[in-house]
Amino acid sequence: MDTSSVVKKPFFYCISGYKNSGKTTLITKLIPVLRERGYQVAVIKHDGHDFESDVPGTDSWRHQKAGAYGTAVFSKNRMMVTKECKRIDETILAQCFPEADIILIEGLKNSSYPKYMCNYPEEEPMDAEKLADWIEELWKGEQMGTVHAICISEKKGTQKYEIPEVTVLEDFGLERDAHAGKWHRQVSLLSLERIEEFRAKGANISFGAFGENLVVSGFDFKSFQIGTKFKCNDVVLELTQIGKECHHGCQIRRQMGDCIMPREGVFCRVLKGGVIKKGDKFSIISEEK
């Protein structure tokens, strides 16, 4: 088959966070890891403010200051284009990189693209090799995690405790869990990796301490947009809320000065019920665009 006319669609992944949160540093570590795996990588940086498009004093900068709405510089192996324009977004810029497999976007923390949120110095960034694994799995459509803990509490206001398996009820939640019900926060999810990072700071906490129902490895849950669907055995969950306000009496926050549930925890509605056991595989079945 002649594939010369096939246009390859790059995969967008955001490295986001507030100013000086470690975005550029993480990207510079991530690029060589992805390149070693054979991926062509481009980077698009979003700047929330106007920026100086060239180095003051260069010829192209002088051309621009003289009134040229666009300038370009090229050599045998490189080019640089600057252009004044009214409306532009990452999809337009991506057309400049038709060879790219993966386009990393620095910024766009409020976009619907999958993303990793940097939070340095409060949290050390994820290892570049591990993050590359996540990106690669998403790019291939093969991202899969594992259920490491199932937690319930039979009364509100009491800490959740681990159980080996649970029946998940359609449009209700985990059987015998006090937070199940006819609402949008029927099941709460938290990443194992985020819990382990928090424990590494000296926090002696058990699974369920954050109020999470399922602890799952392999996902940065806050990077997915509302409407993403997850599957575990017959159970299908739909993401309905990202994060929540930490209640004022949070014991973890009092002890550690921080709590990850408000920014890392997500909540789901149960679209289809079934049984989940510790060790079961957990996957994405769709992500709304």
Distance between CA atoms of 265 and 240, rounded to whole angstroms? 11
Q: What share of the chain is helix, strand, coil (3-state, %, to 5)?
A: 20, 30, 50
What pLDDT was estimated at residue 289?
Answer: 41
Alpha-carbon torsion (71, 46, 123, 216), positive or negative: negative
Angle, alpha carbons 83-88-93 (nearest 5°):
80
Residue pLDDT, tens place only, 185-200 = 999 999 988 888 888 8
What pLDDT was estimated at residue 245?
Answer: 72
Question: Residue written as tokens 């070693």?
Answer: 36
Q: What is the DSSP-derived secondary structure letter of residue 212?
A: -
Amino acid identity, position 153: S
Distance between CA atoms of 228 and 287, rounded to whole angstroms? 4
Least reliable range by pLDDT among 56-60, 200-204, 210-214: 200-204
Residue pLDDT, tens place only, 112-156 = 678 888 888 888 888 999 899 888 887 777 667 889 999 999 998
Residue pLDDT, tens place only, 63-98 = 888 888 888 888 988 888 888 877 788 888 888 898
Cβ neighbour number for residue 105 with a 10 Å cutoff? 24
- Give the pLDDT mean for 201-218: 87
Look at residue 262 and give its three-state secondary structure. Answer: helix
Q: What is the DSSP string of 129-177?
A: HHHHHHHHHHHHT--EEEEEEEEE-SSTTS--EEESEEEEETTTEETT-
Separation of first and last alpha carbons in the chain? 30
Distance between CA atoms of 123 and 130, rounded to whole angstroms? 16
Distance between CA atoms of 131 and 15, rounded to whole angstroms? 10
What pLDDT was estimated at residue 109?
Answer: 80
Rounded to the nearest 5°, which phi and psi values hold at 109?
-65, -20
Residue 165 has pLDDT above 90, yes or no: yes
Q: What is the DSSP-derived secondary structure letter of residue 48?
A: S
- Whole-number percent of the chain with pLDDT over 70: 88
Q: What is the DSSP-derived secondary structure letter of residue 222?
A: G
Residue 3 has pLDDT above 60, yes or no: no
| Token representation of residue 154 | 């039979």
Distance between CA atoms of 74 and 76, rounded to whole angstroms? 7
Residue pLDDT, tens place only, 228-248 = 999 999 999 999 999 877 665
Rounded to the nearest 5°, which phi and psi values hold at 61?
-65, -40
Residue 211 has pLDDT above 60, yes or no: yes
159 neighbors 208 (Cβ within 8 angstroms): yes
Report cis status (omega within 30 of 0) of the bond before 121.
yes
Q: What is the mean pLDDT of the chain?
A: 85
User: Residue 7 — pLDDT band, cuts 50, 70, 90?
Assistant: very low
235 neighbors 172 (Cβ within 8 angstroms): no
Contacts 24+ apart (CB under 8 A), 76-79: none
Residue 170 has pLDDT above 70, yes or no: yes
Choose between 226 and 167: higher pLDDT. Answer: 167
